[in-house]
Amino acid sequence: MSTFQTALSGLQAASTDLQVMGNNIANANTVGFKSSNAQFADAYATAIAGTAPQTGQVGIGTSVQTIAQQFAQGNITATNNPLDVAINGSGFFQFNYNGATVYGRNGQFQLDQNGYIVDGGGGQLIGTPAVSGKLTGGSGPLQITTTSLAPKATTSATVSLNLDAAATPPASGTQFSFNDPSTYNYSTTATVYDSLGTPHLLTTYYVLSSGTGGSSGSGQTWNVYYSINGTTASGGTFYSDVNNPATVQFTQGGVISGSASMVISGFTWSDGASGSTIALNFAGSTNYNAPTAVNNITSDGYGAGQLSNLSIDPSGIIYGRYSNGQSAILGQITLTNFKAPQGLQRIGNNYFVPTYASGQPLTGAPQSGGLGSLQSSAVEESNVDLSTQLVNLIVAQQAYQANAQTIKTQNQVVQTLLTL
> Using the 8-state DSSP alphabet, how is residue 231 labeled?
B
- pLDDT at position 262 over 80: yes
- pLDDT at position 212 over 50: yes
Same domain, 109 and 227: no
- pLDDT at position 409 over 60: yes
Last residue of a domain, one of 243, 277, 299: 299
Q: What percent of the chain has pLDDT over 90?
A: 68
Same domain, 209 and 245: yes
How big is the chain by its Cα radius of gyration, in Å? 37
- pLDDT at position 371 over 70: yes
* pLDDT score for 408: 80
Task: Supply the mean pLDDT for the chain.
Answer: 89
Q: Name residue 264's beta-bridge partners.
A: 278
Same domain, 294 and 170: yes
Q: Whole-angstrom Cα distance, residue 383 to residue 394?
A: 20
62 and 10 in contact (C-beta within 8 Å)? yes
More confident residue, 10 or 91: 91
Same domain, 141 and 18: no
- Which range marks the domain in which residue 372 is found? 76-149+307-380
- pLDDT at position 110 over 80: yes
Last residue of a domain, one of 299, 321, 350: 299
Same domain, 294 and 160: yes
* pLDDT score for 214: 43
Angle (nearest 5°) at CA 382 between 379 and 386: 140
User: What SS3 state is found at 355?
Assistant: coil
Task: Place 415 in a pLDDT band, splitting at 50, 70 and 90.
Answer: confident
User: What SS3 state is found at 57?
Assistant: coil
Q: Whole-angstrom Cα distance, residue 381 to residue 7?
A: 38
Q: Whole-angstrom Cα distance, residue 222 to residue 201?
A: 22
Same domain, 258 and 232: yes
Residue whose C-alpha is closest to residue 38's, from 63, 11, 8: 63
Same domain, 284 and 362: no
The domain that holds 233 is classified in CATH as: 2.60.98.20
Q: Which helix H or strand E contains 374, and what residues bound it?
A: strand 373-376
Q: Whole-angstrom Cα distance, residue 262 to residue 250?
A: 16
Same domain, 235 and 352: no
* pLDDT score for 241: 92
* pLDDT score for 52: 56
Residue whose C-alpha is closest to residue 168's, from 153, 185, 156: 185
Residue whose C-alpha is closest to residue 105's, from 28, 38, 37, 30: 30
Q: Name residue 239's beta-bridge partners.
A: 227
CA 414 to chain centre: 69
Q: What percent of the chain has pLDDT over 70?
A: 95
Count of the separate structural domains present in the chain = 3
Q: Whole-angstrom Cα distance, residue 394 to residue 36?
A: 17
Same domain, 278 and 213: yes
Same domain, 291 and 394: no
* pLDDT score for 48: 56
- pLDDT at position 59 over 90: no
Q: Sign (positive/negative) of CA torsion 345, 347, 350, 351?
A: negative
- pLDDT at position 201 over 90: yes
pLDDT tens figures, 12-38? 888 888 999 999 999 999 999 999 999
pLDDT tens figures, 265-298? 999 999 999 989 999 999 999 999 999 999 999 9
Q: How much is the average pLDDT of 128-133?
A: 90
Q: Sign (positive/negative) of CA torsion 125, 129, 134, 137?
A: negative
To the nearest 10°, the Cα dihedral for 47, 53, 58, 64? 30
* pLDDT score for 419: 82
* pLDDT score for 215: 46
* pLDDT score for 372: 94
DSSP 238-293: EE--TTS-EEEEB-TTSBBSS--EEEE-S--BTTSPPP--EEEE-TT-B--SS--E
Q: Whole-angstrom Cα distance, residue 304 to residue 400?
A: 69
Same domain, 210 and 273: yes
Task: Place 65 in a pLDDT band, splitting at 50, 70 and 90.
Answer: confident
Question: Model pTM greater than 0.85?
Answer: no
Q: Name residue 130's beta-bridge partners.
A: 135
Residue whose C-alpha is closest to residue 227's, from 236, 240, 244: 240
What is the maximum alpha-carbon separation in the chain?
A: 140
Same domain, 207 and 122: no
Residue whose C-alpha is closest to residue 25's, from 385, 275, 299: 385
* pLDDT score for 418: 80
* pLDDT score for 55: 63
Q: Exposed, middle or buried: residue 92 (CB in 10 Å: 0-12, 13-18, 19+)? A: buried
Last residue of a domain, one of 250, 281, 299: 299
Task: Place 51 in a pLDDT band, splitting at 50, 70 and 90.
Answer: low
Q: Sign (positive/negative) of CA torsion 350, 356, 357, 360?
A: positive
pLDDT tens figures, 134-173? 999 889 999 998 778 899 999 999 999 999 999 999 987 7
* pLDDT score for 369: 87
Angle (nearest 5°) at CA 367 between 366 and 370: 100
